[in-house]
């Protein structure tokens, strides 16, 4: 089941809007062989604010909580709980390739792959999943998130979806389309049952894999602009074996002058 987030402040993506996923060759092979999209648990991401209500608090508020011995442990536990029940799969929205993301998401610039699809194709592939999957553009203005609390001019309330669909402005270059799995009921039950965070980290899976058809999801495959000829040929041959003909495999011409 797919749930498209349509906040009033956000224009919905068009069906043919191009989306990109920059990955290394091993992850591309994994996608083809397993026919699965990988949704990673939020606490495995580099950004410590990922999927946390801490995102909506300024530095002074966070310091106040962390300097108070009576509530510090409770604050940290709530922060960690927030991350253990969200699983994310991230795409980049753009009509063209991104030079920054070629570098950012590749450990080896000679063996990098960019999968290009569309918003509509991604929705179609996720629509039959047994999981309740959400899809949303990411907002980069957390200061404007939340719903005002009546009678409290400075107070706001936030939902579990808010914490997953907002990031700090420093990440605005990512232009992210996010698909995610989030079970608020399980999160509330765990908090009420007073589970220990470390216990939950062991019990909760690090990732969730969702079945898709790669040949239907992928519109084009781009091989890194600095890749060798033999690697381009390898990607063509491997892709063909999984229903992606070589006409859909291209070497990036990002730095091609002639």
What pLDDT score does 135 carry? Answer: 95
Q: Which two tokens stand for residue 58?
A: 């300024």
In the chain, pLDDT over 70 holds for what percent of residues? Answer: 91
> How confident is residue 197, by pLDDT bands cut at 50, 70 and 90?
confident
What pLDDT score does 99 carry? Answer: 92
CA distances from 73 to 77, 193, 211, 235 (A): 6, 16, 39, 49
In the chain, pLDDT over 90 holds for what percent of residues? Answer: 57
> How confident is residue 257, by pLDDT bands cut at 50, 70 and 90?
low
Q: What is the largest CA-CA distance in the chain?
A: 66
* pLDDT above 80 for 84: yes
> How confident is residue 2, by pLDDT bands cut at 50, 70 and 90?
low
Q: What is the DSSP string of 200-220?
A: HHHHS-SEEEEE--HHHH-SE
What pLDDT score does 88 carry? Answer: 97
- pLDDT tens per residue, range 201-211: 888 999 999 99
What pLDDT score does 8 carry? Answer: 37
CB 42 within 8 A of CB 183: no
State the pTM of this model. 0.88
Instruction: Calculate mean pLDDT across residues 9-30.
Output: 84
> How confident is residue 11, by pLDDT bands cut at 50, 70 and 90?
very low
Gap between the Cα atoms of 63 and 53, Å rounded: 14
In whole numbers, what is the pLDDT of the chain averaged over residues?
Answer: 87
What pLDDT score does 236 carry? Answer: 97
pLDDT, greater one: 61 or 146? 146
Gap between the Cα atoms of 56 and 105, Å rounded: 27
Instruction: Calculate mean pLDDT across residues 185-205.
Output: 82
- pLDDT tens per residue, range 173-188: 999 999 999 988 888 7
* pLDDT above 50 for 10: no
Residue 193 backbone class (left: φ over 0; alpha: ψ -120 to 50; beta: rest): alpha
- pLDDT tens per residue, range 118-155: 999 999 999 989 999 999 999 998 888 878 777 766 66
CB 109 within 8 A of CB 223: no
Q: Which of 20-34, 97-111, 214-228 has the lowest mean pLDDT?
A: 97-111
Instruction: Calculate mean pLDDT across residues 37-45.
Output: 95
């Amino acid at each position: 089941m797919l749930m498209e987030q349509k906040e009033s402040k956000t224009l919905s993506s068009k069906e043919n809007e191009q989306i990109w996923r920059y990955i290394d060759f091993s992850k591309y092979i994994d996608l083809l062989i397993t026919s699965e999209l990988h949704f990673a648990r939020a606490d495995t991401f580099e950004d410590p604010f990922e999927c946390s209500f801490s995102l909506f608090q300024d530095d002074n508020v966070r310091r106040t909580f962390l300097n108070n011995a009576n509530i510090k442990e409770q604050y940290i536990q709530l922060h960690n709980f927030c991350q253990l029940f969200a699983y994310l799969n991230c795409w980049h929205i753009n009509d063209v390739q991104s030079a920054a993301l070629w570098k950012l998401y590749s450990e080896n610039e000679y063996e990098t792959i960019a999968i290009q699809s569309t918003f509509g194709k991604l929705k179609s592939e996720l629509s039959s999943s047994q999981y309740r999957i959400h899809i949303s553009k990411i907002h980069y203005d957390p200061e404007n998130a939340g719903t005002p609390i009546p009678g409290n001019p400075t107070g706001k309330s936030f939902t579990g979806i808010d914490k997953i669909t907002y990031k700090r402005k420093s990440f605005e270059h990512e232009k992210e389309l996010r698909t995610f799995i989030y079970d608020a009921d399980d999160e509330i039950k765990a908090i009420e049952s007073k589970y220990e965070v470390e216990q939950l980290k062991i019990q909760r899976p690090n990732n969730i894999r969702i079945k898709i058809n790669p040949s239907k999801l992928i519109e084009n495959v781009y091989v890194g602009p600095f890749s060798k000829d033999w690697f381009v040929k390898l990607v063509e041959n491997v892709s063909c074996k999984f229903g992606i003909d070589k006409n859909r495999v291209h070497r990036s011409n990002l730095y091609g002058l002639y």
